[in-house]
Chains A and B, each alone.
Chain A
Amino acid sequence: MKIRALIAAAAAATLALGLSACGKQEEPSTGPVSLRMTVWSSNEAHLKLFNEIADAYKAKNPRVTEIKFDPIPFENYTTTLTTQIAGGNGPDLAWILENSAPDFVTSGALLPLDDTLAKTDGYDTADLSQAATKLWQTGGKLYAYPFSTSPFGVFVNTDMLKAAGQQTPAELIAANQWTWDKAVAVASASAAKSGKAGLVVRDFDYKGWDNLSTVWAGWGAQAWSADGRTCGFDQQPMVDAMTFLHQAIFTGKALPGPGTTADFFAGASAMTITQISRASLLKDAKFGWDLVPLPSGPSGKYSVIGQAGLGVLKKGRNADVAADFLAFFTSPDNSAKLAAYFPPPRTSQLTADTLAKTNPLLKPEQLQQVVIDGISTGVVKPSHSGQAEISQAVRAALDPLWKPDVDVKAVLAGVCTAINPLLAK
């Protein structure tokens, strides 16, 4: 009897906890408000700027007593964020990466922002670039502010290239010869001469395959069709792009092979493809460097951008206050300050002059060529609803490609076989 009572009590507690963990709707708060925003960056300069903006907001809104920025490591950012939400400890505002944008935007997790932004004095929503906001809209509503729209460029160790007797990308651009063929040839020659790496696609490391879109977009290839229903890996442009890349890795040795790491910013490679926000790592660089646009591919000049959005979690107790803070945080004045690190989606601020004021390490022509031109013509890195599952399936199916002497076309066909059921969901 006692044992039965104990089991019954445990079952009741289980049920109560289970029910309380799910579907819990917080009542709006009327007292002092404390906001928490998750961010992927723990860079001190970034956090200092965020806190300055937050302090200004608190000064104008005494009810808001605390605004806390909660950095989560980039590698597990989305996983940690969703785990926090599942555990009932979700933030009020979250920085959302582009690859999970469709999941967040279409799920109903985020508060629509249009009304709040429209009624905020001086906000000027018309100034937001349509290309930048596209990923963050559904049903005509904006669910996250495209906080950072950052094009990919090529950082170049000019000292290393000169030591290898190679033309620099700037010289190749001037001669209208900055193509993928040339880039790989230069990287290969530099690697052979220096014993260091030639070209590194940063954050790829033979796992983060979506970073390879910075290469394959030059062939006009795409991971899947615009409507997300058709796999693009087995299409001819992708086969050509990946064949080129495979040869560059295993024949030309222009890129470090699998299992070999090289950090451009520590002087270990001649070139790297990454976003301009990494320029801050070159503040104390002991080598000459340059930043240039991505090389032209067979389909011509192109640009690829990565994005991050800032959204308000609808489930939070203070969602309205959080939306108001978001409007303040991303107002034209604050957007200009944030442009020091994060290229803004405001067309009025996308000028070389504005960006040069906040990016002293970069020259106006670099900002024009890589950032401004890049944003206006760029395609966003691949994103799809259920991206995490698709991404894992692509990673596993692409693994056989990273060996010499493989049938590239067959491997890529295997990728489509793996992800077609997921794309069809």
Chain B
Amino acid sequence: MSTRFWTGSRRDAAAGYLFIAPQLLGSILFVFVPLGLVFWYSLHEWNVLADTFTFVGADNYQALLDDPRLTDALAATGLFSAGLVVLNLTLALLLAVLLNQRLRGTVFFRTVFFSPVVVSLVAWTIVWGFLLQNDGGINGLLKTVGVHGPNWLRGETTAMLAVVVVQVVKNVGLNMVLFLAALQGVPANLYEAATVDGASRTRQFRSITVPMISPTILLTSIITVVGSLQVFAQIAVLTQGGPGTSTTVLVYYLYQQAFQFHHFGYGATLSVLLFAIVLLLTLVQWRMRRKWVFHES
């Protein structure tokens, strides 16, 4: 009995492998290899100028535990993330609900709120840097209504607030569009039935809208949390981590250690820490979906 190698199932399998090959290759080259390299570098002391690359084992991880500046960086990161996530998601949902109404001008406002998303991040931040100067546009506007604005980027509290707001305004449109898409997928008959039963608008929002769009809330919260942990350009352009170290978030601190102070091995260790934090938070959010995501497709 002769057997053919290229049976139908093998052909299907080969086609499947071919289809995923580019993605797999990309993932290996640009995700897994760099991840492995970063971990490998974190076990070394790498002096670029002296051209030395010495295995130091867990020394960099011990240095991580002993680093007094790391606490400040983690605190700044937590503050930035909390501010960004809360403001971004709340505002995005509010805008989406408002712009989901059948009113004139909603298309215009959707465009207005989404347009910053497609603007170059650095250009956007530079412009905001000028606006937030002591004698800049924001304080000029405040002055017209008799308010003496603070020196936004020079105060420890206001600098962090400014960075958060600049980032929220930049990206709130993306989450708004995702929420809009989700809102438009909520069956109208649910609201009709609730109206017949006498449910108020607030009750309808709480008991119908939020549960029905909960998968999108999960998605946007994961994207926003991960994005908030990776903020860099805004800090580099607006504050350079100051005043003091008030806006030195983990990614900026990592950049300083690796690329400014030439501690590449320790910088790699901070990258591993960041990766672990992102992974942990994403897993926690993913596990929590069982409690608060109403349905999943």
Residues of chain A touching chain B, judged by Cβ–Cβ distance below 8 Å, are 10-11, 13-15, 17-18, 21-23, 79, 82-83, 85-86, 103-104, 107-109, 206-207, 257-261, 315, 386, 388-389, 392, 395-397, 399-400, 402-403
B151 at the interface (CB under 8 A from A): yes
Docked complex Cα distance between A109 and B48 (Å) = 8
B152: nearest chain-A partner, CB-CB: A259
Extra contacts besides A108-B49, A109-B49 (15): CB < 8 Å: A10-B28, A14-B36, A14-B37, A15-B40, A18-B40, A23-B51, A107-B49, A108-B50, A260-B133, A388-B261, A388-B262, A389-B260, A392-B256, A396-B244, A397-B244
> Smallest distance from the beta carbon of A36 to chain B beta carbons, Å?
17
Q: Which residues of B are found within 8 Å of A259, using beta-carbon distances?
A: 133-136, 151-154
> Smallest distance from the beta carbon of B71 to chain A beta carbons, Å?
14
Q: Are B134 and A82 in contact (CB under 8 A)?
A: no
- Residue of A18, A109, A396, A397 touching B37 (CB-CB under 8 A): A18
Q: Are B242 and A86 in contact (CB under 8 A)?
A: no
Q: Which residues of A are found within 8 Å of B47, using beta-carbon distances?
A: 107
- Residue of A15, A23, A258 touching B151 (CB-CB under 8 A): A258
Q: Are B49 and A103 in contact (CB under 8 A)?
A: yes
B136: nearest chain-A partner, CB-CB: A259
Tally chain B residues at the interface, Cβ within 8 Å.
36
Q: Which residues of A are found within 8 Å of B151, using beta-carbon distances?
A: 257-259
Given known A-B contacts A107-B50, A258-B134, A396-B242, A82 and B262 have beta carbons under 8 A apart: yes
Given known A-B contacts A79-B260, A259-B151, A396-B245, A109 and B36 have beta carbons under 8 A apart: no
Q: Are A109 and B134 in contact (CB under 8 A)?
A: no
> Smallest distance from the beta carbon of A393 to chain B beta carbons, Å?
9
Q: Are A402 and B49 in contact (CB under 8 A)?
A: no
Q: Which residues of A are found within 8 Å of B154, using beta-carbon distances?
A: 206, 258-259, 402-403
Given known A-B contacts A18-B37, A83-B259, A259-B151, A396 and B49 have beta carbons under 8 A apart: no
- Residue of A23, A83, A207 touching B53 (CB-CB under 8 A): A23
Docked complex Cα distance between A388 and B259 (Å) = 10
B83 at the interface (CB under 8 A from A): no
Q: Are B259 and A257 in contact (CB under 8 A)?
A: no
B114 at the interface (CB under 8 A from A): no
Q: How many A-B residue pairs have CB under 8 A?
A: 97
Q: Which residues of B are found within 8 Å of A85, using beta-carbon distances?
A: 48-49
> Smallest distance from the beta carbon of A75 to chain B beta carbons, Å?
10
Which of B36, B135, B153, B241 has the most chain A CB atoms closer than 10 A to its own CB? B36
Docked complex Cα distance between A257 and B155 (Å) = 13
B78 at the interface (CB under 8 A from A): no
- Residue of B41, B244, B248, B260 touching A388 (CB-CB under 8 A): B260
A389: nearest chain-B partner, CB-CB: B261
B240 at the interface (CB under 8 A from A): yes
Q: List 21 A-B contacts (CB under 8 A).
A: A10-B32, A14-B37, A79-B260, A82-B48, A85-B49, A86-B264, A108-B50, A257-B151, A259-B134, A259-B135, A260-B133, A315-B51, A388-B262, A389-B260, A395-B242, A396-B242, A396-B243, A396-B245, A396-B248, A399-B244, A402-B243
Docked complex Cα distance between A86 and B243 (Å) = 30
Q: Which residues of A are found within 8 Å of B243, using beta-carbon distances?
A: 396, 399-400, 402
Given known A-B contacts A10-B32, A259-B134, A260-B133, A386 and B242 have beta carbons under 8 A apart: no
B46 at the interface (CB under 8 A from A): yes
Docked complex Cα distance between A260 and B132 (Å) = 10
Q: Which residues of A are found within 8 Å of B134, using beta-carbon distances?
A: 257-260
Q: Interface digits, B39-75 against A, CB 8 Å rule (1 contact, 0 not)?
A: 0110010111111010000000000000000000000
Docked complex Cα distance between A104 and B41 (Å) = 22
Docked complex Cα distance between A261 and B136 (Å) = 10
Instruction: In the A-B complex, list the 10 residue pairs whose CB atoms are closest, starting with the nearest.
Output: A259-B134, A14-B36, A107-B49, A22-B53, A399-B243, A109-B49, A389-B261, A107-B50, A86-B48, A388-B260
Q: Are B33 and A14 in contact (CB under 8 A)?
A: yes
Q: Are B33 and A17 in contact (CB under 8 A)?
A: yes
- Residue of B40, B51, B53, B240 touching A109 (CB-CB under 8 A): B51
Docked complex Cα distance between A396 and B151 (Å) = 17
Q: Are A10 and B245 in contact (CB under 8 A)?
A: no
B28: nearest chain-A partner, CB-CB: A10
> Smallest distance from the beta carbon of B95 to chain A beta carbons, Å?
31
Docked complex Cα distance between A174 and B248 (Å) = 49
Which of B46, B47, B48, B154 has the most chain A CB atoms closer than 10 A to its own CB? B48
Q: Which residues of B are found within 8 Å of A395, using beta-carbon distances?
A: 240, 242
> Smallest distance from the beta carbon of A298 to chain B beta carbons, Å?
29
> Smallest distance from the beta carbon of B93 to chain A beta carbons, Å?
34
Q: Interface digits, B200-243 against A, CB 8 Å rule (1 contact, 0 not)?
A: 00000000000000000000000000000000000000001111
Docked complex Cα distance between A395 and B256 (Å) = 13
> Smallest distance from the beta carbon of B33 to chain A beta carbons, Å?
5
Q: Are B259 and A82 in contact (CB under 8 A)?
A: yes
Q: Interface digits, B175-191 against A, CB 8 Å rule (1 contact, 0 not)?
A: 00000000000000000
Q: Are A108 and B245 in contact (CB under 8 A)?
A: no
Q: Which residues of B are found within 8 Å of A23, using beta-carbon distances?
A: 51, 53
